[in-house]
Amino acid sequence: MTLSTFIGLGSNLGDRAGNLLLAVRGMLDAGLEVTRLSSIYETEPVDRADQPMFLNMVAEVRMTIFTAEQTLARLLRIEYALGRRREVPRGPRIIDLDLLFYGDEHRATEFLHLPHPRVHQRRFVLTPLAELEPRLLHPILHRDVSQLLAETDDKADVRRWRGN
C-alpha cells in the first residue's frame, strides 16, 4: 500500500535555504521517496516573536515501507545530524521537520500525533501544503487544506521567498 505523507520543513538559523536543501537530501538518504516540494516561503515566527524570520516549505513523500513512527524517527535523526538541539521550546532552529499527515491516519500517542495537532492553525504550513494538495482532507476536522487556510485565525505574514 502506498500512502501520501506530508512533511513540513522550517529553518531560521544560518543558511536557511541551505538547511532546507540538506534536510531534503537527508530524507532521500534515509530512504524516503520525496515526490514533490512546495515553493519556499518566508514566514514570521509564531509563538515566539523574538527570533529571525523562517523559511518554510512542505514535502510530499510516497510512503511504501516505513510506518509513521519509523518515518518520524528518521526525521528526528535528520534534525540531529543537521545540528538541531531542542534547548528553547519553539525557539530558533537550524531545521525543523514535522510529520504533518501520514495518509489519513489519526492517532495520539506519547511519541506521535497524527495529523500534526496544530497543522490547521499554522498559515506557514497550510500555505505551502495548499500549493501541493489543496483538496487534502483533514481526517479529524473533515475539511480540506484550502478550507482550513481560509478559516485559520493565524494572520502571520507568509510570502513566497525569492532568494537574497
- Helices 68-81, 16-29: inter-axial angle, 10-degree rounding: 130
Containing H/E element for 160? strand 158-160
For 26, residues 6+ apart whose C-beta sits below 8 A from its C-beta are: 78, 81, 82
List, by residue number, the catalytic residues. Answer: 84, 93, 96, 98
Asked if residue 105 lies in contact with residue 36, where contact means CB atoms within 8 angstroms, the answer is: no
For 108, residues 6+ apart whose C-beta sits below 8 A from its C-beta are: 114, 117
Half-sphere exposure of 148 (CA within 13 A, CB side): 26
> 7: which 3 cell numbers?
512533511
